[in-house]
Amino acid sequence: MNRTQLIEELRRIVGPRGLVHRQEDLLTYDADGCVMDTGEPHVVVVPETTAQVAAVVKLAARAGVPIVPRGAGTGLSGGATPIQGGIVVSTARMDKVLEVDVRNGRARVQPGVINFELSQQLKPYGYQFAPDPSSQKACTVGGNIANNSGGPHCLKYGITASHVLGLEVVLPSGEVIWTGDGTPQTAGYDLTGVLTGSEGTIGLVTEAWVKLTRLPEAVRVVLALFPDIAGSSATVSQVIASGLLPAALEIMDRLAIKAVNDMYKLGLPEAAGAALLIEVDGVEDGLDELLHEITAICQRNGALEVRPARTLDEQTRVWAARKNAFGAMGRLAPTYYLVDTVVPRTKLPYTLEQVGVIAKDYNLPIANVFHAGDGNLHPLILFDRRNQSQNQRALEAATQVMHVSIEQGGVISGEHGIGVEKQDYMTLLFSTDDLAAMAGLHQSFDPLDLFNPGKVFPKGKGCGELAALRRAGVEWGALKAAGMM
């Protein structure tokens, strides 16, 4: 089937409004938020119903054309980049909250619902959708599920997987299944868990039952300023070790403070080497006492000052500065490379010290804005992508950050996923047997390797590793499906 025939068949399925095929229009879909890799799709479809998605997938299977699921395109690992072309399936028009079931603490939504807007719709009921990535005003629930996204409040409330109760999924065959009935306990294999975080490689989510979380009765926010990262990081470890559980513990270093200070006019002193944003929530009674215990730990670790955000407006402004910190980096450099790793909380001071060493070694400034409460680091390597030397140094610096994180007992992604950005780091973290098991699972869902191909699994496996995978009992089809032969 040639491209013209494919377009005509797709037009019959999704209608002319649901089809994007002109060359200039396809440029919008050649990458997600990770622009280090790009790829041109053959065509883009924007369906409105599960039936349309299933029909598109069946057509793609007959034609042998890849399917690349896409939410809002805010991903940061290249997961929605069509590196092998194919059909990009955008869920942007599948944006309805279908049911709010307060009595059972759940809502049924389509994947194109924007994260922030879902919580806004739930607010009159006294509930929220707890996962809150920094991009929550743009990112979609489907994308959150694909990457098992986190956010500042996952310290207390958990990552996306903790809030998904069941998924309607179109499999690579075009078959439509539900992985659960929207109740917390289900029998059999946990297919919801398998699909959540699978980055669109084994199925395309078309509906989801998500968990509702009660809005807290009261919220307190303070900003603790420290002379350096070491004091703020030590505070985070001691707060958790004391048995206290804030809703969020977020840190910005000196460079990040400079960026958000300029943009949001926060008036933070230049002497501050780190800012620790602390939020506690819950019932009103006892909340101030909890905050007092935490601020006492801040002061014991050398805090320069502790600034409470006393009004809702002040709290909103402080959180806006934190959540938009990545965008504020444009005041410091024309481009940044965002690294996403996790280390144990106690390893934060040493790891960040090494990030500083890497910045000097590669002669590139690195700003740090991160979810300190669960050790999820986000070093932002600042450079100019128009400069080829800086491009190369940025990539090498990112690799060194990965190595340091793993050496400290960490992992290579906390919430952004693997995609194409981190696929070659998988061998640093997983054994051959680990990868073989993943390849076998992938093969069982997608034997033709048509769903988001070329993602997650490492490229360029050597003969020795292939032999080891065969000894582990993995079929050749699984190796091909995983892009490993």
Res 37: pLDDT: 81
Beta bridge partners of 451: 67
Token match 């079931």: residue? 101
Segment (H or E) for 429: helix 426-429
Each residue's pLDDT tens digit, 218-229: 999 999 999 999
Tokens, residue 437? 């098991």
Cα angle vertex 143, ends 93, 150, to 5°?
Answer: 145
Res 460: pLDDT: 57
**Residue 461 above 50 pLDDT?**
no
Q: Please, what's the b/e burial string for 145-180 (b: 16 or more CB within 10 A of its CB; e: otherwise)? A: bbbbbbbbbbbbbbbbbebbbbbbbbbbebebeebb
Query: Do the first three CATH levels of 218-326 and 333-407 match, i.e. the same topology?
Result: yes
Each residue's pLDDT tens digit, 324-355: 899 899 999 999 999 999 999 999 999 999 99
CATH of span 3-90: 3.30.43.10
Spatial CA neighbour of 224 closest among 239, 212, 213, 211: 239
Percent of the chain with pLDDT over 90: 87
Percent of the chain with pLDDT over 70: 94
CATH of span 333-407: 3.30.70.2740
pTM for the full predicted model: 0.92
d(Cα 297, Cα 321) in Å, to the nearest integer? 24
Q: How many CB atoms lie within 10 A of CB 93?
A: 17
Coil, strand, or helix at residue 411? strand
Res 426: pLDDT: 95
Each residue's pLDDT tens digit, 119-134: 999 999 999 999 999 9
Q: Does domain 97-214 have CATH number 3.30.465.10?
A: yes
State which fold the 218-326 domain adopts.
Answer: Alpha-Beta Plaits (3.30.70)
Token match 């409470």: residue? 308
Res 42: pLDDT: 96
Domain ranges across the chain: 3-90, 97-214, 218-326, 333-407, 430-481
Higher-scoring residue by pLDDT: 468, 166: 166
Res 91: pLDDT: 98
Token match 């106690």: residue? 346
Segment (H or E) for 467: helix 463-471
Mean pLDDT for 403-419 is 95
Would you give the DSSP letter of residue 233? Answer: H
List of E strands, 3-155: 19-20, 43-45, 67-70, 87-90, 97-101, 106-109, 127-128
CA distances for 30 relative to 88, 226, 318, 375, 450, angstroms: 10, 42, 34, 32, 18
Q: What is the mean pLDDT of the chain?
A: 92
Q: Name the residue type at position 426.
A: M
